[in-house]
């Protein structure tokens, strides 16, 4: 394990707001992901969580690991504030290859909203 990787953590939680930012995979995409995790006997890319063990990136991978009975590795990423964390979640999802143009636009608009809030906070 690398120094950023932590052992499996049974306290991993899902924030419904963050989960809603992640467009659902098609059944075929999800089964392909699940099969890949099964064949590798674990994750190729760890799940990213915040310091409170809330998933920031890896919702589908986490679900697949649960179904397969595999303990996922996690990487903890800390942020100065909640807005920075929310931007990270959006940015992670903007680079996903399975997103269509509409989904990318929705995430970009959400990112813009967080950036405006962050700008207001910084100008105080």
Q: What is the pLDDT of residues 23-81, one digit of tens each?
A: 788 899 899 999 999 988 788 889 999 999 999 999 999 999 999 988 898 999 999 88
pTM attached to this predicted model: 0.71
pLDDT band at 118 (very low <50, low <70, confident <90, very high): confident
Asked if 52 and 85 touch (Cβ cutoff 8 Å), the reply is no
Please, how many CA atoms are within 13 Å of residue 72, restricted to the half-sphere of its CB? 29
Residues 6+ apart with CB under 8 A from 30: 60, 64
Token pair in block for residue 46? 């760890």
**Angle of helix 59-68 versus helix 27-40 axis, rounded to 10:** 60
Among candidate residues 1, 4, 11, 14, the one with its CA nearest the CA of residue 78: 4
Matching residue, tokens 């995430």: 107
Beta pairing partners, 48: 57, 75
- Ordered by where they begin, the domains of the chain are 5-122 (3.90.1530)
Cα distances (Å, whole numbers) of residue 43 to 47, 72, 87:
8, 7, 24
Quote the tokens at residue 58: 């890896």
């Amino acid at each position: 394990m690398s120094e950023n990787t932590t052992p499996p953590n049974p306290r991993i939680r899902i924030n419904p707001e963050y989960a809603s930012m992640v467009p659902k995979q098609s059944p075929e995409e999800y089964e392909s992901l699940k099969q890949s995790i099964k064949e590798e006997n674990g994750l190729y890319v760890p799940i990213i969580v915040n310091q409170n063990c809330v998933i920031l990136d890896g919702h589908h991978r986490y679900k697949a690991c649960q179904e397969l009975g595999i303990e996922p590795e996690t990487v903890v990423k800390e942020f100065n504030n909640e807005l920075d964390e929310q931007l990270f979640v959006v940015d992670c999802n903007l680079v996903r290859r399975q997103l269509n143009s509409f989904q990318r636009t929705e995430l970009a608009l959400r990112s813009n909203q967080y950036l405006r809030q962050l700008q207001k906070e910084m100008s105080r």
